[in-house]
């Protein structure tokens, strides 16, 4: 069976005091909890890894540079992330693609760098509102999959997160049918490219205004293996019900 994963992206939110939420979250996790990853801002990575020790919660970063080291002021490498004790890194988030002009080729290189450092890459894909309205969603997704996924993908080193850009932080939710359509399409594409043994085992996450009151419905889809959650992951009381819904799906 594919592993289930609930990942929380804190984005540019939180200070050291916010790490108390990890202990609270631990106390709220169900006995059958899926994998849980919290991705705090980079300055908190080391302290988050220490705070999460022995809790069953893993820590991830929100981005990494494609190079191991060099004159890249303000950037952090995958090796530096791994050195903090983190195990995952998000690459290709739509906010990085838009605000930092990142392209599929950049995401591909970052995923490769993540693997080299022993990290699991959470590779994000998703269409803009104009693509959805023009009925170009599957073409956009196919292109992002082809360009962003390196050749040596495995279920051990890769998670794919579908995040319709128009649904992130907006409160707008695709219909279950729309989510199913994209997730089934992604599954078919990665099975075709990487073979059934690999493609059937890579977790596919849904992201985009996932909340406690809609999570159970979203997790009904056969090819939705978890969620990449933004604002609702900042507070344990909001994130825990989503994790429980996933555990019970």
Q: Looking at the annotation, which residues are catalytic?
A: 93, 163
Helical pair 104-116 and 137-148, crossing angle rounded to 10 deg? 40
Tell me how far apart the alpha carbons of residues 217 and 226 are, in angstroms, rounded to a whole number.
12
Number of other CB atoms surrounding residue 219 within 10 Å: 21
Query: What span, in angstroms and rounded, lies between the C-alpha atoms of 92 and 80?
Result: 19
**CB 154 within 8 Å of CB 198:** yes
Burial of 79 (0-12, 13-18, 19+ CB in 10 A): middle
């Amino acid at each position: 069976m594919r592993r289930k994963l609930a990942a929380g992206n804190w984005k540019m939110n939180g200070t050291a005091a916010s790490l108390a939420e990890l202990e609270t979250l631990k106390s709220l996790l169900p006995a059958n909890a899926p994998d849980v990853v919290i991705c705090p801002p980079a300055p908190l990575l080391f302290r988050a890894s220490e705070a999460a020790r022995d809790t069953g919660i893993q820590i991830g970063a929100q981005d990494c540079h494609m190079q191991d080291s060099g004159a890249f002021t303000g950037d952090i490498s995958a090796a530096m992330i791994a050195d903090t004790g983190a195990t995952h890194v998000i690459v290709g988030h739509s906010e990085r693609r838009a605000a930092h002009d990142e392209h599929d080729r950049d995401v591909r290189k970052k995923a490769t760098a993540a693997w080299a450092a022993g990290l699991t890459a959470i590779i994000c894909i998703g269409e803009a509102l104009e693509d959805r309205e023009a009925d170009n969603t599957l073409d956009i997704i196919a292109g992002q999959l082809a360009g962003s996924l390196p050749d040596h993908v495995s279920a051990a080193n890769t998670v794919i997160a579908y995040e319709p850009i128009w649904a992130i932080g907006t409160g707008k939710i695709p219909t279950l049918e729309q989510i199913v359509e994209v997730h089934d399409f992604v599954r078919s594409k990665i099975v075709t490219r990487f073979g059934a043994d690999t493609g059937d085992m890579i977790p596919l996450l849904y992201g985009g205004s996932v909340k406690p009151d809609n999570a159970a419905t979203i997790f009904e889809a056969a090819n939705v293996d978890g969620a990449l959650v933004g604002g609702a992951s900042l507070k344990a009381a909001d994130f825990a019900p989503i994790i429980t819904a996933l555990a019970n799906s």
